[in-house]
Structure formats: structure tokens, C-alpha cells
Amino acid sequence: MFVSLRLAALAALAFLCLALAGCATQREEGLAVVYGSHVRVDPGLGVAKTAPGEEEEDLNYGSHWQSVADDFGATQPAPAPVRARPVARPRRQPAQRRAAPPPKLAVPQRKGAREARPEGKKTKKSTALLARDHYLDYPTHIKAEKITLACPAALARAARLNAEHVDRSTPGRTRAQGKARLVLRELTLEAHRLTIRVQPPGNSDLQIMARGDVHLVSEVRGNVTRETGIRSLLITNDRIVPLR
């Protein structure tokens, strides 16, 4: 009896082992293998075709996995941003300044053989007379469209006047027109119309009134005073008032 129980136990153990082995066995499916010598590829469709008489197999794995990714909501990575190259700005050229027009009048030269007022030398003239003769004793040149000179009678008679037309019909007044030029000691006046007017008795001032594109240059002991293209100019003795 002991032997029969042992045989029954061995049979039950063998049956249990067979059952467990059946559960652990995996089912394998056969794969069809097609060798490269039998495959021909259609370049237009991207599908590999076998030789005639053989089954065709789709080798376009990329589209297959893309469809699987679309089913699961996968997205393709966004392309990297392309940075635009900075555009170089053209360098701004410095503005060219217009060259100043050359002066119409050169520094006048002294007309007299000797300087009227030598530096360091005492003079017998009064202060008022020195002020009146300031532009008569130092080289001075004035040019404008119209100039009027008012001075005492003695100075008016000493002036040298040249012009295309001169009118002295009015007492105490002389009118010159057309390239008029007056020289009085160291003073030179040039204008299209120039008038000399004699001051009344008791008035010894010297006045010069210039209007229209006035140019002046005066040199006093190396110091040059210049006015270029101003509207008008008024000189009374040694005082000058330019109107620009």
C-alpha cells in the first residue's frame, strides 16, 4: 500500500509539472522572410515589391510609425528659431560746412607817406577832433549799394570823387551815381549811389550811413575790423553801429 501511495504522489507531481510547463509556453508566429535578391523597389511609391509570384510587403516604415504617433497625439518638435542677422546701418557722413565766401574787400594800405598818428607821439589835436578823424587817419574801406557822407565843409572840399554821373546843382549836397568812388585821406567809399552832404555850421561830426550789402574793413595799428554783407552801417566819428 505504501508503494501505491508513492506512485500516486509521483503521478500527481508529474501532472502538475506538465500543467505548469504548458502555461509558461509562449506562442510564436512564423515570420515571412524575403531575401534582397527577390525584392524590387518602386521609387515613385516608396513600396518594395517582390518578384513575380511572391507576396508584396510594405517597407514604408516611416509612414507607419508616423500614423501610430498621430493616433497617440504625438507632435513633431518645432523647428529652431532662425535669428535674423542684424542689418548694418550706414555710417552717417559728417555734414560738410559751406566754405565762407571770400571777403570782397582786402585790408587797405596806408595812402599817406607817414602815419597820421604815430604810436607814442603826442598830438595837438583835441579829443573830439581825434574821435572825428578816427576813420580818416587809419586805412578804412567801405562798400555798399548806397552811402551818404555828412561832414564839415572843409572835409567835403578835400574829398576826391569819381563817378559816371555827378550832380552838384543843390548847394551843400553832391550826388554821384554809377560806380561812385570817394577818397578822403585814409577813407575810401564805394557805392552805386553816393551822396556828400555838408554839415550845418556848428556841427563838426563826421557821419557815414551805408545801406544794402555793406562791407567794411579797417586797420588800426595791426588790428583789423571787418563787417561783411550786413544790411546797414552807421558811423559817427569813431563809433560804429552795424545792423545785421
Structural domain contains residue 41:
yes
C-alpha cell at 91: 555710417
Residue pair 221/119 in contact by the 8 Å Cβ criterion? yes
C-alpha closest to that of 190 among 205, 202, 176: 176
Residue with cell 596806408: 110
| CATH code (residue 133) | 2.60.450
**Containing structural domain, residue 44:** 35-71
Please identify every stretch of the chain with a pLDDT value under 70, giving residue numbers as ranges.
1-9, 11-79, 82, 84, 99-104, 112-121
The model's pTM is 0.57
- Residue 184 lies inside a defined structural domain of this protein: yes
Give the model confidence (pLDDT) of 104-122 as tens digits. Answer: 678 888 776 556 666 666 7
Picking from 71, 90, 115, the residue at the C-terminal end of a domain is 71
Its sign, for the CA torsion 7, 11, 14, 16, is: negative
* Residue found under cell 554821384: 176
- pLDDT tens-digit map of 21-50: 555 444 544 444 444 444 444 444 444 444
Give the whole-angstrom CA distance, residue 214 versus residue 188: 13
Give the chain's domain count. Answer: 2
Give the three-state DSSP class for 43.
coil
Q: Nine-digit cell at 148?
A: 551818404
Instruction: Report if residue 89 sits inside a domain.
Output: no
Cell 500516486 sits at which residue?
8
Provide the pLDDT for residue 37: 44
